[in-house]
Each structure stands twice: as C-alpha cells, then as structure tokens.
Structure 1
Amino acid sequence: MFNTMTLTKAAGAFIGALLFLMLANWGATALFHVGPTGHGGGHGEEEITQAYTIPVPETAEGGAEEAPEINFEELMASADAAAGEREWAKCRSCHALDGSDGVGPHLNGVVGREVASVAGFGYTDAMVAHAAEAPVWDPNAIQHFIENPRGVVPGTAMSFAGLKDPQARANLIAYLQSNS
C-alpha cells in the first residue's frame, strides 16, 4: 500500500517543486528588477529623482482648507431660474411642483413656507424638530439645507447628498420661487 519508496517519491516531488519555484523567482527578479539600479544592492544608497511633483498649498492647522465665506444674497440676485430648472431634475424624482406629494413633500410654494407644514405628509421626527430651529423655508435656510441635508437635519429621510455649488443652489431656489 504505502511503502518508503512512495514516500520518497512524494517528498522528492514536493522538494523539486519548491526548488523550481525558488529558481523561477530568482530568474524573474533578475529580469524584471524594479527600483534603483546600482551596484550597492539597492538598499537606499542612491536617491531617486522624481519625474514630477505636485504642489500642495499650505492648509489651516486642522489640515483642511477653510471654505471662503459666500454672500448668498449676491448669488440670489444673480441667480438664473433657467439654470435652476436643470438642477430641479435632481429633485423631481422625489418632489413635485403640482401640489401632490411623492416620496418627499411637494415643493410648490416652499420658499417662505413653514418647515414641516405640508398637511398630510408624514415628516420624520428630525424634520419636525428642525422646524423649531428654523421655522420658515427662506432662501438662506433652503440653501443651507440643500447643501448637506443629513448634516443640517440628522435623521432626515432625505437621502440626497446635497448640492455643493453655491451658484447651483441659488439657481434652484430662483427656479422654485418662479414656479411657486
């Protein structure tokens, strides 16, 4: 059944396979060397010069640059409702402007409307609590909310990530005002 000759053959095959892999690794390393070439063994004796560098501006102490203050009233004065209609395309999958509620409440008349005030819509507790902090959806409150909905109202059901561009937010608010 299982004698010493079979065991010797199995051990020889295993050791031969290991020897073959070690020789293949040695040959591949000699052919495809990566790193600095030098006669010193390549252990950091030679400095590698980079092909290009990327300048990184100095940042604040926290490691991130502070965003410049935005005068939102000036942005609203120059807002383009037609450009806001393109931004509205991101909203209309959940909201409507015809008075009917969808996944989210309708947004006709939202500018100047009280927060969490659409009758019959089931607002989250977080949004109802937010109404105490910001009772009216004025342009400034809307732009702050749509920049980062979950950051402004933690626990909101609104899954939208937000509009980071301030001009896009102003354009959207101008569009909502013109269609209210």
Structure 2
Amino acid sequence: MFDTMTLTKIVGGFCGTFLVFLLGGWAAEAIYSGGEGGHGEGEEQAYVIPVEDATGGAAAEEGPTPEELTAQFQEAFAAADPAAGEGEFRPCSACHSLAQGENRTGPSLYGVVDRPVDSIEGFDYSGAIEKVNDVWTPEHLNLFITNPKQYAPGTKMNFNGIRDVQDRANLIAYLATNPGG
C-alpha cells in the first residue's frame, strides 16, 4: 500500500504548497501595505487611487429629482408614439405579458395604466410599491421604470430601468392602448 517514503513525499508536498502560499501572502502584504511591520496606526497607504471630487461626484450621479422627471415626462408623453413603445416593450416581455390574466415572472401588464397597484389576482407582490403609490398613473409608471429599485426599495422587479425619457413615454403610451387584450 503506502510505504514511509510515499507518505513523507505527500506530507512534504502539502507543506511546500502551504509555504508558497504563506510567502506569497507575505510578499503581497509588503507590496500593498508599504512593507515593514504590517498595518500600524497612522501608517500611510502604499497605493492610493486618486479621486477627483468624492463628495460632489455622488450628488451629480443621483440625477434629476422626481419633480424634474415628471416635468420632463409630461412634455415627452404629449409627443409619445405608441408604435415606438411596442419596440420598448420587447425586453419587458421576458417577464410580463400583455394578455389579460396571464402572469409570468411579473404580473400581466394588460390595462396597467390607471390600474390600482397590486391588483392582479393570484400574483404574489412584494408590497414595496403599495408603500409608494396607489394607482399606476402614467407619471408613477414613468418614475418606476426610470429606476425600479430606487422608486420602490424592496421590489422584486430585477430591472435597471429605462434612462431615456422619450423611450419611457413611448412605452407607457403603448401600454395605455391596452395591447394584447
């Protein structure tokens, strides 16, 4: 079976591998922490990533307020093209149906415009949207599909949103025509 020499080679192989990992960790720590002594208080970081403006950058990324989004949307919705919205619906169709009563991963979107929130029988809603609004008005739909996770924290909808206001307006105009019913 195993003789002493084979067992010694196996144990030596494990010890050698462990030693290589220890030396690699020590070398990496020396490179990235500035070497000599580890992570003492008051030590300067060895490699610093420069950031232009850490405070102003976050505020700039937040984007427009809900009031600004609504004003932009109302202007775009007045000129919305439902035919163009049909193309915007294609990614939505992976999880939503336009047929009345046909739920998929998401609820049916048949008649969603001006429909009460969480009103489809037999669909297990997260309840996050109920905390935000009561009826799916075009304005509420616009805010939701801009960024679902920001609009209704805790929603089950796993979608990053549609950034272009005219694309959102076209989609909502398409949904308002109650296609698929």
Normalized against structure 2, the TM-score is what? 0.60
Alpha-carbon distance in 2 for matches of 1:175, 1:125: 26
Q: Structure 1 residue 82 and structure 2 residue 83: aligned?
A: yes
Q: Structure 1 residue 176 and structure 2 residue 175: aligned?
A: yes
Alpha-carbon distance in 2 for matches of 1:88, 1:95: 9
Structure of higher CA gyration radius: 1
State the partner residue of 1:51: none
Note the alpha carbon deviations across 1:97-154, whole angstroms, 9 max, x for none: 111000000001000000111111110132xxx3243100000000000000111111
Question: What are the within-5 Å matches in structure 2 for residues 103-114 of structure 1?
Answer: 103-114=105-116
How far residue 178 of structure 1 moved from its aligned partner, in angstroms, is 1.1
Alpha-carbon distance in 1 for matches of 2:77, 2:137: 12
Q: Structure 1 residue 102 and structure 2 residue 104: aligned?
A: yes
Partner of 1:118, secondary structure, is coil
Contact 2:115 2:135 in 1 (8 A): yes
Alpha-carbon distance in 2 for matches of 1:152, 1:166: 16
Normalized against structure 1, the TM-score is what? 0.61
| Structure 2: gaps spanning 5 or more residues | 1-52
Contact 2:85 2:170 in 1 (8 A): yes
Contact 2:86 2:174 in 1 (8 A): yes
State the partner residue of 1:151: 150
Identity, in percent, stands at 47
Alpha-carbon distance in 2 for matches of 1:170, 1:138: 12
Partner of 2:93, secondary structure, is coil
> What count of residue pairs does the alignment treat as equivalent?
118
One-letter identity of the residue aligned with 2:113: V
Q: Structure 1 residue 140 and structure 2 residue 139: aligned?
A: yes
Please tell me the root mean square deviation across aligned C-alpha atoms, in Å: 2.0
Alpha-carbon distance in 2 for matches of 1:136, 1:122: 18
Match of 2:56 among 42, 45, 62: 62
Partner of 2:56, secondary structure, is coil
